[in-house]
């Protein structure tokens, strides 16, 4: 059973998702037959994550619910971080399925449960806290940041921009405090928050923030620097700085091609096309003005 689980994880890392799925099903059958409860839960969790990655949202939903039910029936508290993490994945699935009420309820349950746990931790005197408690506090706070980040993306997609801005700001504050100003996730959150400011027409604020993220990413060697550069290029485009926008788009394109990030390559090409359209529009307007 352990060998099957190891082979399944190896298959996932190699992108052999169908093979991984078959191995996990075999492991789950063995886990049930031997009444190995931890292995049952672990198999369900891996299968649910695999289904989610493959876009099989209905199947992933059922598997996450099965894993959560298994945990709760075994006495795991409802506010256990592992349960909350699965609840967050369910909320994200509901968001992708446009089940607004279920998504909002799920995000709210996760954020409120985590905030309540952190409040309890605050009530414990610092000198009485063990290393294990401090590790749990950090894990809980980072999970809250992940929850706020996920809800922010959902709110941005549904054009609730002010709420998305607040969630991104709170997630950014958590990430800065717990992981530092140059952590890759901190810089991504800076860039995402800049996008929300840009969508609200606050271009100068957005540009200042994304510039900060890009500068820090250069010094820190961010693995997804091309994403930050592409975002900055888009904001420059919206401010009318077309030449600067093209310069950053081309730098981002080179890095995206090197990284093999086809989705980013496509987005950059769309941005460059938008610059071209903007130039043509300006040229046309100038010609019409000259004729008058």
Burial of 205 (0-12, 13-18, 19+ CB in 10 A): middle
Confidence of residue 74 (pLDDT cuts 50, 70, 90): confident
Output the pLDDT for position 23. Answer: 86
Give the Cα separation of 171 and 6 in Å (integer).
34
Looking at residue 130, its pLDDT comes to 83
pTM of the model: 0.86
Distance CA 168, CA 154 (A): 11
Q: What is the mean pLDDT of the chain?
A: 91
pLDDT at 44 over 80: yes
Domain positions in the chain: 181-292
Q: Mean per-residue pLDDT for 280-289?
A: 84
User: pLDDT, tens digit, for every residue of 159-206?
Assistant: 999 999 999 999 999 999 999 999 999 999 999 999 999 999 999 999
Mean pLDDT in residue range 18-25: 85
> SS3 for the chain, per residue?
CHHHHHHHHHHHHCCCHHHHHHHHHHHHHHHHHCCCHHHHHHHHHHHHHHHHHCCCHHHHHHHHHHHHHHHHHCCCCCCCHHHHHHHHHHHHHHHHCCCHHHHHHHHHHHHHHHHHHHHHHHCCCHHHCCHHHHHHHHHHHHHHHHHHHHHHHHHHHCCCHHHHHHHHHHHHHHHHHHHCCCCHHHHHHHHHHHHHHHHCCCHHHHHHHHHHHHHHHHHHCCCCHHHHHHHHHHHHHHCCCHHHHHHHHHHHHHHHHHHCCHHHHHHHHHHHHHHHHHHHHHHHHHHHHHHC
Q: What is the CATH number of domain 181-292?
A: 1.25.40.10
**pLDDT value of residue 125:** 67
pLDDT value of residue 4: 82
For the stretch 237-261, pLDDT in tens is 999 999 999 999 999 999 999 999 9
- pLDDT band at 15, cuts 50/70/90? confident
User: Which pLDDT score is estimated for 210?
Assistant: 96
Mean pLDDT value of segment 97-122: 94
| CA distance linking residue 226 with residue 223, whole number of Å | 8
């Amino acid at each position: 059973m352990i060998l099957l689980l190891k082979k399944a994880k190896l298959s996932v890392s190699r992108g052999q998702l169908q093979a991984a799925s078959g191995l996990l099903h075999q492991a789950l059958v063995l886990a049930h037959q031997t009444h190995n409860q931890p292995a049952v839960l672990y198999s369900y969790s891996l299968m649910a994550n695999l289904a989610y990655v493959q876009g099989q949202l209905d199947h992933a939903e059922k598997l996450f619910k099965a894993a959560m039910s298994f945990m709760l029936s075994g006495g795991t508290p409802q506010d256990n971080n592992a349960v909350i993490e699965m609840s967050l994945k369910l909320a994200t699935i509901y968001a992708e399925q446009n089940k607004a009420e279920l998504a909002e309820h799920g995000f709210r349950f996760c954020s409120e449960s985590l905030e309540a746990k952190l409040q309890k931790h605050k009530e414990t005197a610092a000198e009485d806290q063990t290393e294990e408690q401090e590790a749990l506090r950090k894990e809980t706070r980072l999970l809250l940041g992940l929850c706020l980040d996920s809800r922010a993306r959902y709110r941005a997609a549904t054009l609730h921009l002010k709420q998305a801005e607040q969630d991104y700001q709170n997630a950014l504050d958590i990430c800065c405090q717990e992981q530092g100003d140059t952590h890759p996730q901190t810089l991504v959150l800076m860039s995402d928050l800049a996008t929300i400011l840009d969508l609200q027409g606050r271009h100068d604020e957005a540009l200042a923030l994304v510039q900060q993220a890009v500068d820090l990413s250069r010094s820190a060697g961010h693995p997804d620097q091309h994403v930050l550069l592409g975002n900055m290029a888009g904001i420059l485009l919206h401010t009318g700085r077309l030449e600067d926008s093209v310069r950053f788009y081309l730098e981002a394109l080179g890095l995206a091609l090197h990284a093999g990030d086809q989705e980013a390559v496509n987005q950059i090409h769309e941005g460059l096309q938008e610059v071209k359209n903007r130039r043509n529009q300006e040229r046309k307007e100038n010609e019409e003005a000259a004729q008058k």
